[in-house]
Homo-oligomer: A and B are copies of this chain.
Amino acid sequence: MALGRHSTAWDISLWARRADAAEEAARVLPHCAVSTNLSEVVESCDLAVLCTSPHAIATAGPELKKLLPASAIVTDAGSVKAKIVAALEPVLGGRFVGAHPMAGSEQSGIQAAREDLFDGAVCLLTPTASTDPSALEAVRALWSAAGCVLREMGASEHDRAIARISHLPHATAASLVHAAVGANPSLAELGGGGYRDSTRIAGGPESMWTEIFLDNRDELLAGITDLQTALETLKLALQNGHRNALEAFLYDARRLRSQKPSTE
């Protein structure tokens, strides 16, 4: 949808596992060829974009190697990278370039698609020393055309950063919902914009997030530990009535927060 806006240079074929998902995709994306037959979709492909779950992406190497043209470049949209790069690079070689577009919402499925979803969003690319320069160039062009701003970093550095800026916020939002309304669900009705926005991502699909959390377990655990430390700092200042310490804690958060995300 994003690629189809600006030019007709992209000739797009789409694979979906379920027939009903394929039908829905064909309705929403009339300019794309859609099929549930993977071989048919990828047999003459120049550049494949893997958008399934991280586990499905990481285990897709052998089948893709068999079905794709030997010259085809491969990228993905998985939100963990170390595991995916470690699994796909040995099978596909330097033509695979890991990517993670930092866009999306708590919704899923083709009905949540928006052509401006990637506009201004950071897309993290994780090339390695083995990456083909021409593959990297093609993958850069793809995500740029979708509307993303590009950054490059190592796969492990990616997973460490994303634990803090994406997985920890999700874990926090879910925990906050439990603490805020777990004992009294009717309180949710009283929530204003603060509760609504700070818990929005807790509406995301639990099966996907369970997998993401387990894939990035150690980094997320380190982030949760730092959150526990921050809460303990706040709690002590509050218990002791330390007005200056409380205000400094909130000031520092406001100042750090004013380093605005790129899409704002």
- In the complex, whether A194 has a CB less than 8 A from a CB of chain B is yes
Greatest chain B CB density within 10 A among A180, A209, A252, A258 is at: A180
The distance from the CB of A198 to the nearest CB of chain B, in whole angstroms, is: 5
- Nearest to A162 among chain B residues (CB) is B190
**Cβ of B263 and Cβ of A179 under 8 Å apart?**
no
- In the complex, whether A204 has a CB less than 8 A from a CB of chain B is yes
The distance from the CB of A151 to the nearest CB of chain B, in whole angstroms, is: 7
Contacts of A181 in B (CB 8 A): 164-165, 256, 259
**Cβ of B178 and Cβ of A253 under 8 Å apart?**
yes
> Which residue from B185, B197, B230, B241 sits with its C-beta under 8 Å from A198?
B197
The distance from the CB of A184 to the nearest CB of chain B, in whole angstroms, is: 8
Stretch at the interface among A6-14, A19-27, A38-46, A220-228: A220-228
**Cβ of B243 and Cβ of A196 under 8 Å apart?**
no
- Nearest to A208 among chain B residues (CB) is B250
**Cβ of A173 and Cβ of B198 under 8 Å apart?**
yes
Query: 1/0 contact trace for A137-173 toward B, CB 8 Å?
Result: 0000000000000010000000001101110111111
- Nearest to A158 among chain B residues (CB) is B190
CA of A123 to CA of B195, assembled, Å: 15
CA of A204 to CA of B193, assembled, Å: 13
CA of A191 to CA of B201, assembled, Å: 13
- Nearest to A201 among chain B residues (CB) is B194
Count of chain A residues with a beta carbon within 8 Å of a chain B beta carbon: 94
**Cβ of A165 and Cβ of B193 under 8 Å apart?**
no
Contacts of A200 in B (CB 8 A): 194, 197-198
**Cβ of A231 and Cβ of B190 under 8 Å apart?**
no
> Which residue from B199, B224, B235 sits with its C-beta under 8 Å from A234?
B224
Contacts of A187 in B (CB 8 A): 161, 164-165
**Cβ of B178 and Cβ of A256 under 8 Å apart?**
yes
- In the complex, whether A102 has a CB less than 8 A from a CB of chain B is yes
**Cβ of A197 and Cβ of B206 under 8 Å apart?**
no
**Cβ of A198 and Cβ of B180 under 8 Å apart?**
no
**Cβ of B190 and Cβ of A179 under 8 Å apart?**
no
CA of A213 to CA of B240, assembled, Å: 12
Q: Would you give 14 A-B contacts (Cβ < 8 Å), ordered by A?
A: A161-B187, A164-B179, A169-B199, A171-B234, A175-B227, A182-B226, A183-B226, A194-B201, A197-B201, A202-B257, A206-B250, A213-B246, A220-B238, A228-B231
